[in-house]
Amino acid sequence: MGQLILNTRPETDSQELETTLLARGYRLLSAPMLQIAFPPCPDGLDLAGVQALIFTSANGVRAFVHHSHDRNFPVLCVGDSTARMAKQVGFTEIYSANGDIHDLAHLIDVQIDPLNGALFHPAARKVAGDLATLLKDRNFDIRRQTVYDAIPVDDLPDDVINAISAHHIDAVLFFSPRTAESFVKLIKRYKLEHDLLGTRAICLSMAVQDRIGVLTWHKTMLAKRPTQEYLLSALDTAFA
């Protein structure tokens, strides 16, 4: 029987991940730490003079297509998972970075001439990095518009509480700092801090690892690159 893995990713991002985990022989529990909401956008999207779109998450793609039928823009994606979502919804000119906001800034710098128009960034209310700051010396006009929200959940599912209390969880997957922060908050609320001593934390980035570092784990593992594929490789390595 395979190791029991707790997936903390939002439901919107979990279908491919959970299918892959099951195919690799793991058992699964799910406790999404964030709920994704797509609020109304009564004034539409501000696309006048835009030469390309920036997507820093698959939810950014979902939010854009929720509000617009236009698929003619070139798109620059933070990583391959986001790029696959962009292709799935109908975009054809797609450029992908290596999964990190700094890699995306470099891709924009190499691929885009700032004189040809603005870049539109459909984003969450809270973002992990500021592309405008990273590219401030290159005179890019990055037009960020809030089109979705990632809302921390208030509770852990009963089956997850029971599994943590019984020390049955072998590893927890963390894909974002906000997901990690939400998990830490709930673990403390339910007084489960001492029930993770045999559990591994598998982290997408150092920023994620920093957030879960306030809890005591059996081991923390860091993906070599901030992509789902490398995170799953870190998970496999944890049990090798």
CA distances from 10 to 13, 92, 139, 152 (A): 6, 26, 35, 10
Cα distance between residue 17 and residue 38, in whole Å = 22
Above 80 in pLDDT, residue 137?
A: no
Q: What is the pLDDT of residue 132?
A: 75
Q: What is the pLDDT of residues 174-201, one digit of tens each?
A: 999 999 999 999 999 999 999 999 999 9
92, burial (CB in 10 Å: exposed 0-12, middle 13-18, buried 19+): exposed
Band (135; pLDDT cuts 50, 70, 90): confident
218 neighbors 194 (Cβ within 8 angstroms): no
Sequence-distant (6+) residues with CB within 8 A of 158 are none
Q: What is the pLDDT of residues 68-78, one digit of tens each?
A: 999 999 999 99
Of 125 and 31, the one with more pLDDT: 31
Above 80 in pLDDT, residue 4?
A: yes
**The model's pTM:** 0.85
Tell me the mean pLDDT in the region 77-106: 92
How long a stretch of residues is the chain?
240
39 neighbors 16 (Cβ within 8 angstroms): no
Above 70 in pLDDT, residue 53?
A: yes
Above 90 in pLDDT, residue 102?
A: no
Band (98; pLDDT cuts 50, 70, 90): confident
Domains annotated on the chain, with CATH: 15-35+166-189+229-240 (no CATH), 37-150 (3.40.50.10090)
161 neighbors 190 (Cβ within 8 angstroms): yes
Closest alpha carbon to 45 in 61, 67, 60, 74:
67
Beta-bridged to residue 54, according to DSSP, are: 76
Q: What is the pLDDT of residue 97?
A: 93
Q: What is the pLDDT of residue 40?
A: 87
